[in-house]
């Protein structure tokens, strides 16, 4: 029996994806070293309802010098984080010398706006290449993992933080107890800890099973986040649904008794209870839908190949590692993935070894069908690549179901 990383309660497994590679380990074609695999399975805690992976990948394997995810590559995400920074400054930075800390600042996409406003800030991120990109934008960064000891050191040298913010990072950190003790050490008495991550409610509703991979250790819900916050002397005081990355929730956490929880918290938790979101029956039903989606997708790809159509994919996302490896999609079905990230181009997709090619080659000539792995950026990508569809190309989507549009 696995014990919950958040509360030590018993965790019941509800879906097993089998052996999976690291989702962001894009291989050099000449690399002959053995690839790292682990068992990707997901379960739910019977005590605190936290949905989590059954097996943990050592953090240094995932977050390393050449971590290839660069937040600023999407214009929609750049705008999202500029708006977020402005909102945090307006609502939480009213004192004379506010201090903002970001956990997982990546290339500085959010803190850049805070830095430009002259507000005292610090980004904490363990992936060296992205930290250097942030520093080049004038962002102050600490090259490190956020955990209790890091937080205590920052508190000692810089004083308490008015805002601790994180996007798409807290769900990456299995040692959530150390994170919360760190928040306790660093946060000012009336400060807020604000974080946003893919929302379990959207993942289940849209069957977006590819949100499950090594880095996404937790799939949060308002119920599980509130239970965890309370264990460490905090409370969930606000929730906000966000449209980015296929549906996220932004959680606002404050020290217990410092802020009145908004009506939105009770509403979202009531909705989760009414949907029985964290009941094993619902989660097992989600698992059946995952199997069906994969079968539909591979059937379509086989049909296209047999009919002689050209197929490729768009967006070498971390998510796509789960799709290609679980569904068994290799270069025979999808010969190339086009991606704008220089650090991924010329490499092979983890596990399935599909070549990643630069976007500049996408139109030379266009494939007939393109599997959109970066479906969370669909609006932005489909609009920019409108010439592809105008000349007869079709996008293949696989969440919530498989279809060519
Ligand atoms: N915040 C950005 C965004 O939303 O686009 C980046 C998200 S990226 C998926 C996750 C980031 O978290 C990576 O840059 C990674 O290096 C960082 N990270 C992972 N574990 C961390 C930890 N313990 N403390 C701080 N950052 C961490
Ligand atoms: P994400 O789904 O984890 O945000 O990753 C998106 C991937 O898609 C990343 O490797 C960059 C790539 N991408 C493009 O190639 N073109 C685009 O326009 C966008 C938005 C992303
Ligand atoms: Zn638990």
- Residues 104 and 168: beta-carbon distance below 8 Å: yes
Strands 311-314 and 369-372: parallel
CA angle 158, 142, 96 (to 5 degrees): 35
Distance, CA 67 to ligand 2 centroid (Å)? 14
Instruction: Find out whether the beta carbon of 374 lies less than 6 Å from any atom of ligand 2.
Output: yes
pLDDT at residue 254 tops 80: yes
Nearest to 63 by CA among 123, 108, 20, 126: 126
Q: From its phi and psi, is residue 49 left (phi > 0), alpha (psi between -120 and 50) or beta? A: left
- Structural domains of the chain, with CATH: 2-55 (no CATH), 71-260 (3.40.50.150), 282-404 (3.40.50.720)
Pocket of ligand 1 (CB under 6 A): 63, 67, 69, 71, 103-104, 106, 109, 124-127, 130, 145-146, 167-169, 172-173
Substitution candidate for ligand 1 out of 68, 72, 125, 151 with most atoms within 8 A of CB: 125
Closest C-alpha to ligand 2, atom 18? 381
Q: Which ligand is nearest to the CA of 8?
A: 3
pLDDT at 61: 96
Do residues 278 and 196 make contact, with C-beta atoms less than 8 angstroms apart?
no
What phi-psi label fits residue 108: left (phi over 0), alpha (psi between -120 and 50 degrees) or beta?
left
Q: Atom 1 of ligand 1 has which residue's CA nearest to it?
A: 167
What is the Å distance from ligand 2's center to 341 Cα?
A: 8
Q: What is the pLDDT, as a whole number, of residue 122? A: 98
Q: Which residue from 68, 107, 318, 340 has its CB within 8 A of the most atoms of ligand 2, so it is best to mutate? A: 340
Residue pointed to by tokens 């090259």: 143
Q: Which of 23, 25, 69, 73 has the most ligand 2 atoms within 8 A of CB, as the residue to mutate? A: 73
Q: How far apart are CA 86 and CA 79, in angstroms?
A: 11
Is 228:7 a contact under the CB 8 Å cutoff? yes
Question: Residue 334 pLDDT more than 80?
Answer: yes
Ligand 2 touching residue 380 (CB < 6 A): yes
DSSP letter for each residue of 36-74: PEEEEEEEEETTT--EEESS---HHHHSSTT----GGG-
Ligand nearest to the CA of 45: 3
What pLDDT sits at residue 330?
98
Q: What is the mean pLDDT of residues 375-390?
A: 96
Mean pLDDT of the chain: 97
Give the whole-angstrom CA distance, residue 330 versus residue 349.
9
pLDDT digits (tens, 9 = 90+) for 88-107: 999 999 899 999 999 999 99
Tell which atom from ligand 1 comes closest to the C-alpha of 196.
4
Evaluate: CB of 343 within 6 angstroms of ligand 2.
no
Q: How far is it, in rounded angstroms, from Cα 67 to Cα 128?
A: 8
Question: pLDDT tens digit string along 144-202?
Answer: 999 999 999 999 999 999 999 999 999 999 999 999 999 999 999 999 999 999 999 99
220-246 b/e (C-beta count within 10 Å ≥ 16 → b): bbbbbbbbbbeebebbbbbbeebebbb
The band of 235, judged by pLDDT with boundaries at 50, 70 and 90, is very high
pLDDT band at 289, cuts 50/70/90?
A: very high
CA of 70 to the centre of ligand 2 (A): 9
Confidence (pLDDT) at 106:
98
Q: State the closest ligand 2 atom to the C-alpha of 75, by its place in the atom list counted from 1.
A: 20
Asked if residue 74 has its Cβ within 6 Å of ligand 2, the reply is: yes
Q: Which among 72, 356, 374 is the best mutation to test ligand 2's pocket, defined by most ligand atoms within 8 Å of the CB?
A: 374
pLDDT in tens, 277-288: 999 999 999 999
Q: Using CA atoms, how far apart are residues 234 and 250, in angstroms rounded to an integer?
A: 16
Rounded CA gap, 96 and 108, in Å? 24
What percentage of the chain has pLDDT greater than the value 90? 99
Query: Rg for the chain (alpha carbons), in Å?
Result: 21
ipTM value > 0.90: yes
Q: Which ligand is nearest to the CA of 176?
A: 1
Mean per-residue pLDDT, 341-347: 96
Q: How far is the CA of 103 from the centre of ligand 1 (A)?
A: 7
H or E stretch including 338? strand 337-339
Q: How far is the CA of 278 from the centre of ligand 2 (A)?
A: 30
- Ligand closest to the CA atom of residue 102: 1
Q: By alpha-carbon position, which residue is closest to atom 19 of ligand 2? A: 74
CA 384 to ligand 2: nearest atom:
18
Buried b (16+ CB within 10 A) or exposed e, 292-324: ebbeebeebbeebeeeeeebbbbbbbbbbbbbb
Mutate to test the pocket of ligand 1, among 58, 80, 83, 106 (most ligand atoms within 8 A of CB): 106
Q: So what's the pLDDT on residue 359?
A: 96
Model confidence at 363, pLDDT cuts 50, 70, 90, reads very high
Predicted local distance difference test score (pLDDT) of residue 1: 76
pTM of the model: 0.97
């Amino acid at each position: 029996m696995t014990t919950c990383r958040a509360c030590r309660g018993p965790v019941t497994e509800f879906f097993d994806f089998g052996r999976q590679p690291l989702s962001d380990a894009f291989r050099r074609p000449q690399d002959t070293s053995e690839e790292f695999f682990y068992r990707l399975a997901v379960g739910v805690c019977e005590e605190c309802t936290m949905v989590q992976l059954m097996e943990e990948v050592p953090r240094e394997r995932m977050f390393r010098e050449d971590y290839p995810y660069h937040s600023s590559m999407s214009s929609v995400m750049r705008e999202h984080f500029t708006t977020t920074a402005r909102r945090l400054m307006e609502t939480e930075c009213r004192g004379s010398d506010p201090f903002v800390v970001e956990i997982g600042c990546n290339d500085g996409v959010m803190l850049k706006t805070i830095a430009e406003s002259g507000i005292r800030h610090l980004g904490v991120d363990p992936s060296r290449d992205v930290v250097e990109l942030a520093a080049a934008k004038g962002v102050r960064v600490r090259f490190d993992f956020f955990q209790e000891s890091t937080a205590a050191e920052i508190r000692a040298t810089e004083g308490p933080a008015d805002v601790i913010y994180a996007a798409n990072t807290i769900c990456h950190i299995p040692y959530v107890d150390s994170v919360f003790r760190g928040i306790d050490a660093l946060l000012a008495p009336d400060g807020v800890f604000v974080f946003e991550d893919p929302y379990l409610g959207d993942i289940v509703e849209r069957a977006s099973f590819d949100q499950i991979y090594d880095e996404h250790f937790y799939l949060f819900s308002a119920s599980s986040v509130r239970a965890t916050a309370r264990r460490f002397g905090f409370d969930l005081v606000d929730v906000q649904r966000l449209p980015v990355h296929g549906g996220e929730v932004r959680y606002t956490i404050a020290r217990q008794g410092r802020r009145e929880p908004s009506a939105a918290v009770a509403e979202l938790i009531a909705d989760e209870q009414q949907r029985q979101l964290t009941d094993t029956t619902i989660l097992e039903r989600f698992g059946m839908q995952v199997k069906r989606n994969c079968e539909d997708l591979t059937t379509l790809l086989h049909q296209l190949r047999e009919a002689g159509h050209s197929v490729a994919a768009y967006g070498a996302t971390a998510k796509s590692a789960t799709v290609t490896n679980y569904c068994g999609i290799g270069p025979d079905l999808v010969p190339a993935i086009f991606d704008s990230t220089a650090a991924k181009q010329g490499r092979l997709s983890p596990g399935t070894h599909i070549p990643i090619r630069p976007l500049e080659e996408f139109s030379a000539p266009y494939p007939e069908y393109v599997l959109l792995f970066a479906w969370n950026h669909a609006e932005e990508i489909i609009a920019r690549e409108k010439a592809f569809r105008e000349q007869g190309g079709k996008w293949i989507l696989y969440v919530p179901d498989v279809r060519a549009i």
